[in-house]
Amino acid sequence: MNIPDVSRRANAAFALIWVLVFLAVSMLIMGGVMAWTTTAARLTDRNNQYTESLAAAEAATEKVVGAIMNDFRNGNQGRVFLNMPNYELMVPTPTENAMWANYVFTDPHGVLNHVLVTNVYTNVYTNVDSQYAGLLGYASKYRAVANAINTSGPDQVAAGVQQDIQVATIPIFQYAIFYHNMPMEISCGQRFNITGRVHANQEMYVLPDSDLNFYDTVTAVRDITFGRMPGDSRGAPSGTVDYFGGKESRVASLNLPIGTNNSPEAVHALLEIPPTGEDPASIMGRQRYFNKAELIVMVTNEVTTVSGKKVTNAIATVTSGRINNFATVLTSNQMSSFITLTNSFNDAREGKIVRPIDINIGGLKTWSETNSTLRPVLGGDVSLVYVEDQRGLTSGLGAVRVLNGTNLPSRGLTVVTPRPLYVQGNYNCTDKTALGTTNTQPTKPASLIGDAITVLSTTWTDANSTASLGSRVAKSTTVNAAFLAGIVQTQTYNSYSGGVENFPRFLETWGSSAIFTYNGSMVVMFPSRYATGRWGLSNVYGPPARNWAFDQNFKNANKLPPGTPSVNKLFRSSWASVAPGTAGLTTE
């Protein structure tokens, strides 16, 4: 009797079922994988389209940023504000690159071929953005928002970009020390405390022979090097340096808005008379001190001319030595109340007899206070005086000297000359209790601008200037004013510029008991053209004990010296990808 093998058949049936099950599951898995692959490919494609659209939207905002940067560099904040409607039309076009034919650009409102450009705030004196945070400037912030769609893809994915940028006009006297496109050197044979910000637009060489302390931020466009500059053959620094406010190298440069040529030599033009035909509204014309002046003193071999502005916005022009667009020339009696041309003294560093145009600041103040013609035009006393020496001296050194400057005119005072400038005695320190201190509360806004600046103490006498150094003995002197001038650079073997510590020049022996107190801002702009005697010669001076500080008044826009130059800078405040159609519609 044959008995069927039921168990074998059952096992075969179960095996078949399992095969079918596994086959079905495999098909499902395969279908899922195929679906996932298709979805993933689709998502990747959409993501690629989004990335391309995002890049296009960014390109649209970058075109606006570039236009704002160009207008700000070649104009001012007002020009940027007025050009906002033009910026909104600046979308990338196929004429620039054929690829842009595949994109459609809109602003958040859906307006075709437009970028939304809004002004967040205008001309506010505030902190600037980026790596110069903490620095104050007249700033405006703009927001550019653009949407873009890549029409060549199947999904036409849109993307949006929002950029905030800040354009800032930064008064340069906010720095305790600022070197414009020249290497900075700081040495010290005595303890040196620097209480304000420090910036070099090139290298910075820190080479102390005593304690050097920075109590605020130090920045340089190139390297900050502990060591001497090539050409300075002295031994290695023996002192110490501390950066209590922090330091940063390789930062963005801060340049004056004078055009494409920002070399030190070109910057000297700030102090020069404009050439014939130069537009006062040009880039350089707006920066020249001559065009900012309220009173111009011009001295030739034949005549002295002093003129004041007719109207507030008048610009002086010079034709054949005469000043146009200015008020009637002052009388001889008026000029003699504050101008003297008969003095002379020896400058041991230059090895020349100086024949100065002496400006008696006290006499100028008195004349200005009683002048019924000019005061209504200016809204007060004269605050910016430009002095030009055109005598063409065959011997000696033409220069300008300010003296009797303890009490300045009510609006403060800036004195400018393209020639060397000497300041004699205490300056801008009416309150005698503040002499020798960092108390600048009772001072007026002040700056002294020249080819080089030399400080003569309260005991200086012209008659004694040819005596030996031991006979030219200084006494403690206080000067409260920003300095902008040139230096004789370190260039050859055994030649040192004198560094920041000798930026103000001296012609007396001071000794440890005679203190030079200085409150202000030191700005080095160019190589000196006229006062070119190098530092380090014998029988020139004995260094003072230095009590120097940054004038904290200069952080207040209302207390900056008249005619303070500024650097222009564009900062990128923020960048963000945003949902199309929703960005840029609110302001800060």
Q: Which residues are 199's β-sheet partners?
A: 178, 219
DSSP code of 108? T
Residue 421: alpha-carbon gap to chain centroid: 23
Domains of the chain: which residue ranges?
A: 14-171+569-578, 181-253, 261-563
In DSSP notation, 325-368 reads: SB-PPPPHHHHHTTEE----EEETTTTEEEEEEEEEHHHHHHHH
**460 and 425 in contact (C-beta within 8 Å)?**
yes
The candidate with the shortest Cα–Cα distance to 423, out of 368, 467, 484, 353, is 484
> C-alpha angle with apex 262: 258 to 268, nearest 5 degrees?
80
- Nearest-angstrom CA–CA distance, 400 and 413: 15
Sign of the alpha-carbon torsion through 35, 39, 44, 48: positive
If you search the block for the tokens 């409150």, which residue do you land on? 519
The CA-atom distances, in angstroms, between 507 and each of 229, 351, 369, 424 are 25, 11, 34, 11
In single-letter form, the type of residue at position 146 comes to A
The candidate with the shortest Cα–Cα distance to 309, out of 385, 419, 412, is 385
The candidate with the shortest Cα–Cα distance to 61, out of 169, 193, 161, 200, is 161
Give the pTM: 0.85
> C-alpha angle with apex 539: 534 to 544, nearest 5 degrees?
85
pLDDT tens-digit readout, 385-412: 999 998 888 889 999 999 999 999 999 9
**547 and 436 in contact (C-beta within 8 Å)?**
yes
| Helix/strand/coil percent split, the chain, to 5 | 25, 35, 40
Q: Which residues are 317's β-sheet partners?
A: 324
Do the strands 322-324 and 317-319 form a parallel or antiparallel pair, or are they unpaired?
antiparallel
In the structure encoding, which two tokens stand for residue 122, read together?
Answer: 């205008």
- Nearest-angstrom CA–CA distance, 506 and 509: 8
In the structure encoding, which two tokens stand for residue 167, read together?
Answer: 């354009």
- Nearest-angstrom CA–CA distance, 188 and 239: 8
What pLDDT, on a 0 to 100 scale, did the predictor assign at position 218?
96
What pLDDT, on a 0 to 100 scale, did the predictor assign at position 584?
47
In the structure encoding, which two tokens stand for residue 12, read together?
Answer: 């075969």
What pLDDT, on a 0 to 100 scale, did the predictor assign at position 7?
58
* SS3 assignment for 10-60: HHHHHHHHHHHHHHHHHHHHHHHHHHHHHHHHHHHHHHHHHHHHHHHHHHH
Which residue ranges of the chain lie beneath pLDDT 70?
1-16, 18-21, 23-46, 260, 302-332, 492-494, 581-588
Helices (H), 453-522: none
Q: Which residues are 305's β-sheet partners?
A: 298
- Nearest-angstrom CA–CA distance, 87 and 83: 6
What pLDDT, on a 0 to 100 scale, did the predictor assign at position 4?
57
Terminal-residue alpha carbon distance, the chain = 100
pLDDT tens-digit readout, 182-241: 999 998 888 999 999 999 999 999 999 999 999 999 999 999 999 888 888 888 888 999
**364 and 409 in contact (C-beta within 8 Å)?**
yes
For residue 68, count other CB atoms closer than 10 A to its CB: 23
3-state SS, residue 317? strand
